[in-house]
Structures are given as structure tokens and as C-alpha cells.
């Protein structure tokens, strides 16, 4: 079945450093979504990518969807303590059913 792999499992950064998490699917995706879950909270939708090679930006966050629509990345420039949490990618091969990656937990040291 479809699998979505995400690395790294966790990352510690100093405030101001950049951060990247990567997502790879075993199958071609129709779309990929990114979510952020703060400690003790629930996942919150960040963005969706649907086009091959698509790049979207939200302030310091840059999201990319690979040309083959099987991988994606989230890059945060100059991390802040408010970026702390777990970032999940979630891929769909079609329809609303999505498979979540394992998540990358980000720790930011002030």
C-alpha cells in the first residue's frame, strides 16, 4: 500500500538557523499537504501542493513539490521559538484519503 516517509524524525536547531523536513511517497501523489502540530495541540493545516514542481511560500516557510510528485519538502528560514512543534506531510493518491508521514519534531533553542 501507499507509504509516506518523512525525515528527519526530529531536529534541534538554534534560533535563527534554518530547518528542512523531507517527505517521500512510494507512489505518485495527486496532492500533498503540510500540517503543524504544537505540543499538546492538534494538527493545523498549513498548505497544499498539487502541481508538479510547485513552490509556495508563507513568510519564512517554503514548500516544494517534486517534479515526479513523489516528494516534497518544507524549509523554514531563520527559525523562531514559535516554530516549535511537529510538522507532518500528508499525501493523497486521489480523493480525500490521505496518508500521514511520521512527522518531524522541531526543537528550537533560544
Partner 1 sequence: SAVISQKPSRDICQRGTSLTIQCQVDSQVTMMFWYRQQPGQSLTLIATANQGSEATYESGFVIDKFPISRPNLTFSTLTVSNLSPEDSSIYLCSVPQGNYEQYFGPGTRLTVT
Q: Which residues bind partner 1 (CB under 8 A)?
A: 1, 31, 33, 41-45, 48, 50, 88, 90, 92, 96-103
Rounded-to-integer distance, Cα 32 and Cα 92, Å:
6
Q: Please give the full DSSP string across 11-43, using - where no structure is assigned.
A: EEEETT--EEEEEEESS--SEEEEEEE-TTS--
Provide the minimum distance between the beta carbon of 52 and partner 1 in the complex, in angstroms, as a whole number.
16
Provide the minimum distance between the beta carbon of 78 and partner 1 in the complex, in angstroms, as a whole number.
26
Instruction: Pick between residue 27 and residue 77 the one whose CB is nearest to partner 1.
Output: 27
- 106 closest CA partner among 71, 82, 73, 72: 82
Instruction: Pick between residue 50 and residue 68 the one whose CB is nearest to partner 1.
Output: 50
Instruction: Pick between residue 19 and residue 88 the one whose CB is nearest to partner 1.
Output: 88
Amino acid at each position: 500500500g501507499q507509504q509516506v516517509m518523512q525525515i528527519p524524525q526530529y531536529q534541534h536547531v538554534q534560533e535563527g538557523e534554518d530547518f528542512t523536513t523531507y517527505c517521500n511517497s512510494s507512489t505518485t501523489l495527486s496532492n500533498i499537504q503540510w500540517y503543524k502540530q504544537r505540543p499538546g495541540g492538534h494538527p493545523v493545516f498549513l498548505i497544499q501542493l498539487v502541481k508538479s514542481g510547485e513552490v509556495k511560500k508563507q513568510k519564512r516557510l517554503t514548500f516544494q513539490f517534486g517534479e515526479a510528485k513523489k516528494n516534497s519538502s518544507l524549509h523554514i528560514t531563520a527559525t523562531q521559538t514559535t516554530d516549535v512543534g511537529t510538522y507532518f506531510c500528508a499525501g493523497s493518491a486521489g480523493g480525500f484519503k490521505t496518508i500521514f508521514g511520521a512527522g518531524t519534531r522541531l526543537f528550537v533553542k533560544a
